[in-house]
Each structure stands twice: as structure tokens, then as C-alpha cells.
């Protein structure tokens, strides 16, 4: 049985009782940061720690990046920034969602750098420093994504505003590329040119534009600081080319039962699959409650992009396709083609990782590897492979 907490509720997961597990290779994580640092050339290389470090755990990821050489870190919210500060007292931590009224205290208390994303936030920040606050900021400029940031013309006007208080002096300009994963897209060069125009208006100032994919676009996009995210965690940053990053996360699920299904019998909800042959099915303890998405189902689900092959797991070195619908806690895999007796309850099937690339699974689900990683539930036992010395 699972152990009980002081509240009487079970604590999950319990080692040895795990139905699903994540193995996180911290050496691969560090190697990926070093690889992106080399690609960044003369620019400093940050690390993005949003969403619990893309689902792998903020504390071990932050410590690993810091040990590898990172000193600049990006998070989405001030609460995430406070969590990083508890782990890395000497880091420079940037909050991408900026500062809003009522959150000023967090920025001062935890020494966080807000990325100002709008005119309204600019007012909040100016008020905070007018009251005696001493905190740097970064100015986000929207160069073509139409998401966060001041419009280019507004940023240029701000740079030329002689009435701008001397106390407002951003330490860096930031923008975000919309199409960097498509290197030939015309918007990449357009955004680069617009960003350069704003940098020129502000004079001698640091700048950051390149995310993971942007780093692969080359030196023109690197500026002072790059900020890789998905590539650090083993994901594919650029479309249509082999992924050069090392896999960091391996997700596995325990097989609970192996059963024989006769030809003409159906499998799973909706009887969406009727077996054309006698079929051996392994039922694994994994489902959409664990972030293994329903759109990975082999039939009866319309979410997956048409024309893409259904996904497989990897078992004993062989791919085994999903059969039927992914449910909340369980998924069926067709293991008919594996040798008789080779698949047993208690075996673990790899969902993605070292031998089943995460980008392939994400593509089959009609999504991206970012979503797979950040959707990982709390029922996995997380195992961290220590840094190799």
C-alpha cells in the first residue's frame, strides 16, 4: 500500500510501487546547455526554467545549469523567480510576464528583474522606482509576434522622449522570434531589422532575441544574451532537420496486464478498433491524466493531424503501436509481433526518451514536445541520474 501523509492522504509516488517513471539525465541536460553556449558564440547563454523547468523539476535543473556555467535565468512568473532565488542566490533572474500592481514586493524581496511588456506595466514600474525602489528592468519590444511587448514605434518614441525620467534606464532590450523554427521564413529577417532599429535608438544597451531556434539562425541573432529553452531539455528546436540535442527525459509506464484478443473482438472505449487478427495486447498504466495525450489514440480520435502515423512505445528494443483509445489511466499497446512470453506484467514500456524520440511522439499527437514535457503529471516517480564528473 502507499504510505500516508500526516493528513491521511497517500503520498505519491512511492519507490518500488511506481506505475510510471521519469528518468532525467542531468549530464545530458548540462551537455545540452554547453552545446547551446558554444553555438551562442560571444553571447552569454541563459537558461529558461519556466513551468517547473519544462516539467523535469526546477531545483535540479537550476543547479545543473548553474554548475554548467549559466548565470542568467528566465522564468514566466515572480513566484517561479522566487523559487529559483531559493536555489541560486547569486543568479540574475528575469521574469517574462513583467511587473503588475500588487506584485512589486516580490521583485524587490527576491531581487527579480521584470521584463516590462506594456505601457501599463511601464507605469507600474515607474511608480515602484519613484517610491525609492532600486531594481533594474528589461524592456520587451514586439517586433512581429503580436504577443507581449511595446510596439516598435512606441519603443522608439520612448527612447527619444526627453521627458523620460533619468531613473528609467532598462538594462536590456528583449524581443521574441515568431518563426525561428522555420529558418527560411521571411519574418525572421524582418524581426531582426526591427529589433536592430530599436537597439540603435537606445544606444549602448544589451539585447536578447534568440530562443533555442533563434540560436540556430546564426550570429546575427545572438546579440548580448541568448535564452535557450526546449533545446536544453532535449526537444527539437528547428523543423525539418535532425535534432542534435541529447535526450534528457525518458518516460516509462508499467505493464499491468497482457491479454489475448481474438480476431473480430474490439479493444477499448467505443469499440474503435476491431482486431483483424488474433492480437496480444499489453495494458500499461499511463493515460491522459499523466500527460500522455488522448490524441495519441490509434483510432476514433480526430485531434491528430491527418496523414501522420500513429505513435508507438518501445518495449525490449522493439516499437509497439498503440491500439485503441488512450484513457485517463490506461493505454493499450499491440505486442503481437514480439516473441511469445517476452512481454510480462511488471515490464516497463518506454513512451518517449532515449530510444523513442520525444519529437516523434509529439508529432504523432498533433502537438509539440514542449506540451508533452510540461503536461507531465505528478504520478511519475522521478529519478535523477547524477552529473558525471
Active site residue 221: no
- Evaluated on CA atoms 58, 59, 61, 65, the torsion sign reads positive
**328 annotated ligand-binding residue:** yes
CA distance 363 to 359: 6
CA distance 65 to 79: 20
CA distance 120 to 148: 12
CA distance 29 to 134: 35
Active site residue 384: no
Range list of β-strands (E), the chain: 20-25, 44-45, 47-48, 72-75, 92-95, 112-116, 138-142, 150-151, 172-174, 206-208, 225-226, 249-261, 266-267, 273-274, 279-284, 312-315, 318-321, 331-334, 348-352, 380-385
Catalytic residue, from 3, 63, 233, 269: name it: 269
Helices (H) and strands (E) in the chain, counts: 11, 20
Catalytic residue, from 50, 221, 292, 380: name it: 50
**379 annotated ligand-binding residue:** no
Q: How far is CA 337 from the centre of its chain?
A: 34
How many Cβ atoms sit within 10 Å of the Cβ of residue 355?
14
* Binding site per annotation, positions for substrate: 147, 328
Residues identified as active-site: 50, 269
* Binding site per annotation, positions: 147, 328
Amino acid at each position: 500500500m502507499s504510505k500516508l501523509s500526516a493528513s491521511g492522504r497517500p503520498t505519491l509516488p512511492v519507490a518500488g510501487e511506481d506505475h510510471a517513471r521519469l528518468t532525467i539525465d542531468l549530464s545530458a541536460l548540462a551537455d545540452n546547455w554547453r552545446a547551446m553556449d558554444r553555438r551562442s558564440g560571444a553571447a552569454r547563454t541563459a537558461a529558461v526554467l519556466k513551468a517547473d523547468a519544462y516539467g523535469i523539476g526546477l531545483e535540479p535543473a537550476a543547479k545543473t545549469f548553474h554548475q554548467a556555467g549559466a548565470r542568467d535565468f528566465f522564468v514566466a512568473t515572480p513566484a517561479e523567480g522566487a523559487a529559483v532565488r531559493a536555489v541560486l542566490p547569486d543568479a540574475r533572474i528575469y521574469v517574462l510576464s513583467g511587473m503588475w500592481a500588487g506584485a512589486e514586493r516580490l521583485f524587490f524581496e527576491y531581487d527579480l528583474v521584470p521584463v516590462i511588456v506594456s505601457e501599463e506595466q511601464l507605469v507600474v514600474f515607474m511608480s515602484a522606482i519613484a517610491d525609492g525602489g532600486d531594481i533594474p528592468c528589461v524592456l520587451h519590444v514586439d517586433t512581429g509576434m503580436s504577443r507581449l511587448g511595446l510596439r516598435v514605434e512606441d519603443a522608439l518614441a520612448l527612447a527619444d522622449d526627453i521627458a523620460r525620467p533619468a531613473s528609467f534606464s532598462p538594462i536590456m532590450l528583449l524581443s521574441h522570434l515568431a518563426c525561428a523554427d522555420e529558418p527560411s521564413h521571411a519574418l525572421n529577417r524582418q524581426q531582426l531589422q526591427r529589433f536592430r532599429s530599436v537597439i540603435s535608438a537606445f544606444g549602448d544597451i544589451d539585447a536578447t532575441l534568440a530562443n533555442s531556434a533563434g540560436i540556430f539562425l546564426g550570429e546575427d541573432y545572438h546579440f548580448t544574451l541568448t535564452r535557450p529553452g526546449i533545446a536544453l531539455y532535449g526537444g527539437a528546436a528547428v523543423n525539418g532537420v535532425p535534432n542534435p540535442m541529447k535526450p534528457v527525459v525518458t518516460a516509462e509506464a508499467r505493464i499491468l496486464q497482457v491479454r489475448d484478443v481474438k480476431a473480430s473482438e474490439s479493444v477499448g472505449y467505443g469499440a474503435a478498433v476491431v482486431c483483424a487478427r488474433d492480437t496480444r495486447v499489453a495494458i500499461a498504466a499511463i493515460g491522459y491524466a499523466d500527460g500522455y495525450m488522448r490524441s495519441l489514440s490509434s483510432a476514433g480520435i480526430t485531434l491528430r493531424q491527418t496523414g501522420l502515423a500513429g505513435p508507438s512505445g518501445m518495449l525490449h528494443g522493439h516499437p509497439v503501436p498503440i491500439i485503441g483509445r488512450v484513457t485517463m489511466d490506461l493505454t493499450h499497446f499491440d505486442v503481437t509481433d514480439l516473441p511469445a512470453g517476452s512481454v510480462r506484467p511488471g515490464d516497463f514500456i518506454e513512451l518517449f526518451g532515449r530510444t523513442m524520440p520525444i519529437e516523434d511522439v509529439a508529432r504523432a499527437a498533433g502537438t509539440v514536445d514542449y506540451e508533452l514535457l510540461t503536461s507531465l503529471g505528478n504520478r511519475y516517480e522521478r529519478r535523477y541520474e547524477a552529473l558525471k564528473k
